[in-house]
Amino acid sequence: MHEYFIQNVRFHEDEVVTLKGWVYNLRKSGKIWFLLLRDGTGIIQCVVTKHDCDEASFDLKDVLTQESSVIVTGLVRADDRAEGGYELIAHKVELVSLAQEYPITKKEHGIEFLMDHRHLWLRSRRQHAIMRIRHTIIKSIRTFFDQRDFILVDTPIFQKMATEGTATLFETEYYDDKAYLTQSGQLYAEAAALALGKVYCFGPTFRAEKSKTRRHLTEFWMVEPEMAYYDLEMDMDLAEEMIMYIVAEVLLNRRQELETLERDISKLEAIRTPFPRMHYADAIKLLQEKGEDIPWGDDFGAPHETIIGESHSSPVLVHHYPADIKAFYMKRDAEEPKYALAVDMLAPEGYGEIIGGSQREDDLNVLLERMKAEGMAPENYQWYLDLRRYGSVPHSGFGLGLERTVAWICGLKHIREAIPFPRTMTRLTP
Ligand code: NSS
């Protein structure tokens, strides 16, 4: 079987190829018409004349509508003026399905209209670019872990207990019981790390966020590596290496898409390891110096993350947060127990937190105490506590929010464009 795609026509100069796609645009001028054909891999201009084409094909000019599906056979010709450097001299145009009047036109549409038509909006140049970059980010994450001998362990979506607090749990019926949609695969990844050493899970996670912000989805994808015998330092090294790899892969493979998005590529090229590392207390000082009214002990809000992130051209690792504002499973610093061995990575250009991670509490009794103090029911976590009963070791991990990363790398104003079909507090369709 031989298939041709627009992104590969450059390998077929002066050959006759068949391209299958949709009408992106149509321009007529008397004896010649131009069909902008898209096939998901790119867009190419097809030149249709009576001289090169049969009559039936030529006459389609009076019939075709935007987004009609068509198959075009023709000669690939290099042309510097053409988008992508090539055009197709059509020999034959076949209509597959005539599209009704397409709701998305050249005029400016409001964001709610576009979101209501997300299933069609995905056909635009801009959305193509975002989806292709998202694909490359996912692929690079998987390759990164694969090259370092991590084992992929899929964790359950139905869970009996909370990982990141009860405030954002989605509850669902589970036969005669109830279950929650996963907020994080971490606790299971910890079990897997003690079984397999270095593991990661990568899947959808769910949070009943009460806030409508440009950084929050109710369903988002998270990649969570978990490593036995890793301390916080090693955890931060890995997070930094992974981000550097992702950015390099996107720069290498998706330059054209970044240009389509009018992304300031120099900002991505300026990223360098080692990333700045900042103790929470120093981050508080920095914020106070910049005039923010934030006392030691408070968690950062989005504006604070923006300020810290904007002060550097590479992502910033803020570590050692006060234990009281962090999750129950985080280990405390032995020297200064008011701090947790926690880390957040804040992206540059105001994009805020993209990674949250920590070294985990590995002592059974300390963990039990902390759970009691949080009002958690240890009986729901017996299997998790077993990990501290049978061969407990220092271990660490982190979670990277995929859509926040896509939004940052693509330079999107809002996270909703970073996922094919976003779910937010106010959106469950399409
Ligand atoms: O809550 S996190 O900070 N951390 C965890 O869930 C840990 N259990 C991960 C781990 O150590 N294995 O979430 C991690 C990241 C966070 O930095 C964001 O990038 C992203 O997940 N995140 C979100 N993205 C989009 N929408 C929402 N609502 C959201 N919440 C977190």
Q: How far away, in angstroms, is 251 Cα from ligand 1 center?
A: 25
Question: Averaged over 211-219, what is the pLDDT?
Answer: 92
Distance 31 CA to ligand 1 centre (A): 58
Ligand 1 atom 28: the closest Cα is on which residue?
216
pLDDT at 29: 86
Pocket test for ligand 1, best of 221, 222, 341, 424 (most atoms within 8 A of CB): 222
6-20 pLDDT, tens digit each: 999 999 999 999 999
- pLDDT for the residue 311: 85
**222 Cα: distance to centroid of ligand 1 (angstroms):** 7
303 token code pair: 């504006």
Instruction: Using the structure block, give the residue that is written with the tokens 């998901």.
Output: 40
Q: Is 363 helix (H, G, I), strand (E, B) or coil?
A: coil
Above 90 in pLDDT, residue 99? yes
Quote the pLDDT of residue 187.
Answer: 98
The torsion angles phi and psi of 11, rounded to 5 degrees, stand at -85, 0
Q: What is the structure's pLDDT at 34?
A: 96
Digit-coded pLDDT (tens) for 276-292:
999 999 999 999 999 99
Residue 81: count other Cβ atoms within 10 Å of its Cβ: 7
- 10 Å Cβ neighbour count for 189? 23
User: What is the structure's pLDDT at 106?
Assistant: 83
According to the model, what pLDDT value does residue 176 have?
97
Task: Give the chain's largest Cα–Cα span.
Answer: 84
When mean pLDDT is compared across 125-129, 145-149, 212-216, the lowest value belongs to 212-216
Q: Compute the distance between CA of residue 324 and CA of residue 314 in angstroms, rounded to an integer.
A: 28
59: pLDDT strictly greater than 90: yes
Type of residue at 152: L
Residue owning the nearest CA to atom 4 of ligand 1: 356
Q: Specify the pLDDT at position 1.
A: 78
Percentage of residues of the chain with pLDDT beyond 90: 95
Convert the pLDDT of each residue in 167-188 to its tens digit. 999 999 999 999 999 999 999 9
Q: Give, for ligand 1, the residue of 305, 404, 427 to mutate: max count of ligand atoms closer than 8 Å to Cβ.
A: 404
Question: Running DSSP on this structure, what letter comes out for residue 399?
Answer: E
Q: How far is the CA of 217 from the centre of ligand 1 (A)?
A: 11
Helix (H, G, I), strand (E, B) or coil at 233: helix
Return the amino acid letter for 318.
V
Task: Characterise 70 by phi-psi region: left (phi > 0), alpha (psi -120 to 50), beta (else).
Answer: beta
The ligand 1 atom at the shortest distance from the C-alpha of residue 225 is 12
Instruction: Name 179's Cβ contacts closer than 8 Å, sequence gap at least 6.
Output: 158, 159, 160, 171, 172, 173
Pairing relationship of beta strands 277-279 and 316-319 according to DSSP bridges = parallel
Taking 90 as the threshold, does the pLDDT of residue 211 lie above it? no
pLDDT band at residue 53 under the 50/70/90 scheme: very high
* Cβ-based burial of 155 (10 A; exposed 0-12, middle 13-18, buried ≥19): buried
Cα 330 to ligand 1 centre (Å): 15
**27-50 pLDDT tens trace:** 998 899 999 999 999 999 999 999
Neighbours of 154 (CB within 10 A): 11
What pLDDT, in 10s, does the model give residues 110-123? 999 999 999 999 99
Pick the atom of ligand 1 nearest to 399's CA.
9
What is the Cα–Cα distance from 19 to 46, expressed in whole angstroms? Answer: 10
The pLDDT, as a whole number, for residue 84 is 87
Among 141, 397, 128, smallest CA distance to 248 is for 141
Predicted local distance difference test score (pLDDT) of residue 60: 96
How confident is the model over 372-397, as pLDDT tens digits?
999 999 998 999 999 999 999 999 99
**Cα 319 to Cα 233: distance, rounded to the nearest angstrom:** 10
